[in-house]
Chains A and B, each alone.
Chain A
Amino acid sequence: MSLTLLFKSLLQRKVITILLLIQLMLTLALVSNSILLSQQAYTLSNQPTGLQLETTLAIELKPTDENLIVHPALGELIQRQLAELRKINGVRYAAFTNQTPLMFGGMNGDVFVPDHAETSSVDAVPYNYAEAGLFDALQMTLLHGRWLSAEDKNTDNVVLTEKLANRLFGQSHLALGQQISAGTVVGVVADMMYQRFASDQYYGLFFNRDLSRADYGYRLILQVESQAVAAVRQQINQSLRQVEPEIDIQHIVSLRQLHRDVFEQERGLAILLSVLSALMLLVAMISAYSHALFHGVQQQNEIGIKRALGASKRRILLEVLSESWLTTGIGVTLGLLASFLLQQQLATVISLPALPLWLPFAGALMLLFCVTAATWYPAAIATRVSPATATKAL
């Protein structure tokens, strides 16, 4: 059917057409921005972590007996607990620490190079008070110098993550032997994702120190054989209770779970918007379906006439489809603009990357596909109109 005739017929149904166009426009805007958000969430949660997410378990616990939360009773309790945990089949390494990677919040402090206090100061760097065994428990990689050993116990000797060392000294190997506000640098390890909302998610400092108090509880990190993770998890509770019943085991989680929680907000919103997009596509499909169905009925007579004048079923099908393609085409064109507008509006509220051009186009294709699929059946029904009956009607 000719484009001019299609336009004419659209113009005749102004209100319906406008309703349809607005709806298609908004749908495309939402679909492309949901894809954008999902993409962002995906990128965020696929950043390297430097951690063994599946095989590392973190236990967060706190003594409920106040006599046990102070050094040295605390240190002695921790060692007994670790010894018991190491007995579990499948546990390769176990160590305590005052904070877990990927956990929201923790103990943070400023770090600077004393000679360049003004220029080198970095705030909110996670301070890890742990023991030598944490290296294996977190499966760290040593880049320069050495890891902490028994001699470093309760000294100011400190190990930095690579990114922090780079930040303080330009090149990470230059950090070795240097004095920083927190102590003397003895080693540099590869980056691990520590606290997302610290100055940088890859910053971290490590000391070999006893915990003097556990007002905020403490953490035990286990490195587990990959096939034994579930079995180990089940035994942890009992093992720890055996050592000391007066404890509150707050969480036993894999780093994978913590990692998921870190990006919960982004992931959650991306999923919500995707659900909403799917609903919008569904609504667009229902609309296209009922539009085509209704017009099939309304235009029975017209279709009958056309059939009598020699239009084949294929041709009628094409006519109905091309009408919906035209509307979708116009709606989608408006929707491309709306996509960018919505992206701007959303970017004022949440952090959102720019919308790449291909994305709304891909969304447009998807929308076109959905609309076509939804129009097909009622359009096919419309072509089945008996021309003999239809031309008699009225």
Chain B
Amino acid sequence: MITLTNLSKIFRTELIETHALREVNLQVNEGEFAALTGPSGSGKSTLLNILGTLENFDSGDYLLDGKSVKGLSDAALSKLRNEKIGFIFQSFNLIKDFSIFDNIELPLRYRGLKASDRKQRIDQALELVGLHARRDYLPGQLSGGQQQRVAIARAIAGEPRILLADEPTGNLDSLMARQVMELLEQINQRGCTILMVTHDPEQARRAGRHIQIVDGQLHDSTLYQPLSQPLHQPLAAVQGA
């Protein structure tokens, strides 16, 4: 589903060139839950951003579902992001003036869904993260863990194929972090591919695959384990579980 071949990313200033990623090769298959670890500055966030098409790369290629993202227009990339990729950030990145409902609705609007469809999906997503009763709250009125669950609801409401999570539990205490992890595992079992940057070795172990980055180079230390679950289970089925 994701194929990176010889992908490099260089940050240039007037004085220095920094190789954020060097000749990276990576293959991620559908349904995987991969943890990305590495010391800070190793390039893991850059990799995640490139996977999410938020950032360009300098050389090599990135195939998403067999198609290269190279040279796609801004509109095409935006559409790709909107339909196939969900993001979860360390700092939640909810829009603070918008209610929970409005926040989740945003990517669905971008997709051009009808109001009734949007509402149905938002309701389902909120049920899944257990915050249905808070749909009209503003993000500021929720705890950090709740906010992150809203962010997850927002990421999955559009039923993306891939979820990219950048230290999703970094700002949370351990109890809340565990809840969020369980939620992600649940989503992964439903068939959604997840790539997660983390510092927590425990979390890295829980993921099916562990990829380490050091100095912009990958060290794949965990063997690929095939999934036991069927692919693309409907959301409702996960909710029931």
Contact = CB atoms under 8 A, between A and B. Distances in A.
Interface of A: 1-2, 5, 8-9, 12, 301-302, 304-315, 386-388, 391-392, 394
Contact of A386 (B55, B79, B93): B55
Interface of B: 45, 49, 52, 54-55, 74-75, 77-79, 81-83, 87, 89, 91, 93-95, 97-98, 102, 106-107, 109-111, 154, 158
Given A307-B54, A307-B78, A394 B91 contact: yes
Nearest to B98: A5
B19 to A, nearest CB: 17
A376 to B, nearest CB: 17
Contacts of A307: 54, 78
The 6 closest A-B pairs by CB, nearest first: A310-B82, A312-B78, A309-B107, A388-B49, A388-B54, A310-B81
B74 A313 contact: yes
B154 A309 contact: yes
B97 A8 contact: yes
A391 B78 contact: no
A310 B110 contact: yes
A308 B81 contact: yes
23 contacts: A8-B97, A8-B98, A302-B95, A305-B93, A306-B95, A308-B52, A308-B87, A309-B82, A310-B81, A310-B82, A312-B77, A312-B79, A313-B75, A313-B78, A314-B75, A315-B78, A386-B55, A387-B54, A388-B54, A391-B87, A391-B91, A392-B45, A392-B91
B81 to A, nearest CB: 4
- Which of B74, B93, B154 counts the most chain A CB atoms within 10 A? B93
A12 B97 contact: yes
Contacts, number: 72
Given A5-B98, A386-B55, A394-B91, A312 B75 contact: yes
Contacts of A394: 91, 93
Contact of B54 (A308, A313, A315): A308
B49 to A, nearest CB: 4
Contacts of B87: 308-309, 391
A392 B93 CA distance: 9
Nearest to A311: B110
Nearest to B73: A312
A203 B73 CA distance: 74
Contacts of A2: 109
Contacts of B83: 310
Nearest to A387: B54
A301 B110 contact: no
Contacts of B91: 391-392, 394
Nearest to A302: B95
A312 B93 contact: no
Contacts of A305: 93-95
A309 B81 contact: yes
Nearest to B48: A388
B74 A312 contact: yes
- Which of B78, B81, B83, B154 counts the most chain A CB atoms within 10 A? B78
A2 B99 CA distance: 14
